[in-house]
Every structure is written in C-alpha cells, then in structure tokens.
Amino acid sequence: MLEAAANGAPDLRSFGAALGTTRSTTHRLVSSLVQARYLRQVQGGYLLGPKLIELGTIALEQMPLTAVARPHLQALAEHTHDTIHLGVRDGDDVLYIDKIPGTRGLEMRSRVGHRMPLASTGIGKALMLDLEANAWRKLLEASHRALAKMSFRPDNRPDIDTFLQRMTRYSQGGFTFDLEENEASIRCVAAPVRDASGAIVAALSVASPIPYMPHERMEELIPVVQREARAISEELGWRAPQPSRRIKR
C-alpha cells in the first residue's frame, strides 16, 4: 500500500488495482494507514504521511556508517589486495574512520582517527566533488598551509590550475585520484558515498604503492571503487537519479 502511494497511486481505485483488493478492503486499509499517519489524505487523493519521516530518521540513526560500509570495504580489499580507507569530512580535513591494511607488505601512515587536509588526499578530494571551483581553490590553499606547518612538502603537489583541471574531470566522472600528493610513492582511487538526500557524507579509497598502481590500473579501478561506494550509498537510502523523460508531441 505504501509503495503504491510512493509510486503515485492517487485514489482508492488505484490502490485496489495495485494490490488486487476489493473496494471495501482497500478502504479499510487506507483508513487505518491515515489514522496511524502513514498516509495523509489531501484534496484529490493520498500522499505518504509524516510517520514515515519519523521512522526514516530512526532507521538512519540505527544504521552506523562504519557498520554499513564494512562488508563493502572487505569486498574491495579481497578484490584488490590493497589498503582500503573510509573517511568523512571534518572541517578542512578528512577524518579516517575505518581502514583495512593491504596485503602487499607496505604499511601506510594512515590510521583510524588520523586527519589529513582534504585537498591533499584522494579520499578528501572525493568529499569535495560537489563543491564549486572557488571552494576547491580555498581548500587547496588550506591544504598547502596545513602541510607547511607539518613540514611536509609532497614532491607532486599540483599548482592551482592543474588542481582545478583535475577536479573538474573528477567531478564529471564521480571519482578522484591521489597521485602521490599525500604520501611519496603512494597512489589511490577514491569515490564518494551519498545519503538519501544525495549529499556526499563519506568517501572510500583503494591505495597502493606505485609498482602495484600504474596509471592503467588506476583507470581500471574507477568502476570497481564506484560500485562499492554506490552499494553503500544505496544502503543509506540513496537512489540514482532517473533520466528525465521527454514528452512526445
């Protein structure tokens, strides 16, 4: 009944047709749902009610991001044998909230609870994909200042024009790369995780040393990383936008 309402069933006849119920049974079910606030009656039909918003909020609270993401991170780790990260934005930084070490014999300095400037990491840049170019510029400048305070100057730090060109490509493609911008000899492929509203709430990445992460493999990993990021997003309530339908004249 609720799915029929969500799909646009406007009246009792439409509900009955969708469920295969008699008019009296349909009327009884609809009345019960209206009384319990799962549906609300409006002029011309019925819409989903406020009770569903309350339950949706509770469902999200009962669904911790790390718990939802873990099986997908493990699947990615088993598929790639590389280091897998999950991170969220905290101010101008990415905060790592989960990590599965790779099996290639090189341990990275990242750890759960570790922070790095957003614009210096692949996972951080994935968290920036929906921002405007001016925000990208400001976050890159903040990254440069933060890294200078840490006495950390990556050899591959891009200039502003190169950075903006890369971010434009990343934004259009729904992924990001780290080309040794955060840690020497380490490259990664990252993708954003979205919630039910479509907002980016986290990002995940696959990272590995250069010998295991040539540019050709990075390109091949884009759909693999995106697939797991999408799966997590869908468990958080996100749905891919449907293509608009053109009206035939």
CATH number at 45 reads: 1.10.10.10
Do the Cβ atoms of 119 and 179 come closer than 8 Å? no
On the question of pLDDT at 245 being above 60, the answer is no
* Mean pLDDT of the region 37-49: 87
Name beta bridge partners: 89.
Answer: 94
- For the chain, what is the mean pLDDT? 88
Question: For residue 216, is it within any domain?
Answer: yes
Taking CA atoms, 224 is separated from 75, 221, 227, in Å, by 10, 5, 5
Q: Are residues 48 and 102 in the same domain?
A: no
Q: Which pairs count as long-range contacts for 143-148, CB under 8 Å and 24+ apart, including other chains? A: 143/92, 143/117, 143/118, 143/119, 146/92, 146/93, 146/117, 146/120, 147/117, 147/120
CA 227 – CA 232 distance, rounded (Å): 9
Taking CA atoms, 9 is separated from 36, 43, 82, 226, in Å, by 19, 14, 48, 34
On the question of pLDDT at 40 being above 70, the answer is yes
pLDDT band of 111, cuts 50, 70, 90: confident
Q: Are residues 77 and 22 in the same domain?
A: no
- Percent of the residues in the chain that have a pLDDT greater than 70, as a whole number: 92
Q: Are residues 130 and 218 in the same domain?
A: yes
Q: Are residues 15 and 121 in the same domain?
A: no
Which of the two residues, 106 and 22, has the higher pLDDT score? 22
Q: Are residues 88 and 50 in the same domain?
A: no
CA 170 – CA 120 distance, rounded (Å): 14
Q: Are residues 34 and 146 in the same domain?
A: no
pLDDT band of 155, cuts 50, 70, 90: low
Q: Are residues 36 and 146 in the same domain?
A: no
pLDDT tens-digit readout, 88-97: 999 999 999 8
What 3-state class would DSSP assign to 178?
strand
Q: What is the pLDDT of residue 166?
A: 95
Number of domains comprising the chain:
2
* Mean pLDDT of the region 133-160: 81
* Mean pLDDT of the region 225-248: 80
Question: For residue 249, is it within any domain?
Answer: no
Q: Are residues 42 and 148 in the same domain?
A: no
Question: For residue 245, is it within any domain?
Answer: no
* Mean pLDDT of the region 99-106: 85
On the question of pLDDT at 219 being above 90, the answer is yes
Which of the two residues, 234 and 108, has the higher pLDDT score? 234
Picking from 43, 60, 77, the residue at the C-terminal end of a domain is 60
Do the Cβ atoms of 22 and 37 come closer than 8 Å? no
Q: Are residues 35 and 72 in the same domain?
A: no
On the question of pLDDT at 230 being above 80, the answer is yes
Structural domain span for residue 105: 63-235
CATH number assigned to the domain comprising residue 110: 3.30.450.40
On the question of pLDDT at 159 being above 60, the answer is yes
* Mean pLDDT of the region 130-149: 89
pLDDT band of 41, cuts 50, 70, 90: confident
Q: Are residues 160 and 220 in the same domain?
A: yes
CA 233 – CA 249 distance, rounded (Å): 37
CA 167 – CA 175 distance, rounded (Å): 9
Question: For residue 241, is it within any domain?
Answer: no
* Mean pLDDT of the region 17-39: 90
The verdict on pTM exceeding 0.95 is: no
Q: Are residues 39 and 68 in the same domain?
A: no
Which of the two residues, 43 and 150, has the higher pLDDT score? 43
Do the Cβ atoms of 100 and 112 come closer than 8 Å? no
Q: Are residues 33 and 82 in the same domain?
A: no
Picking from 60, 79, 95, the residue at the C-terminal end of a domain is 60
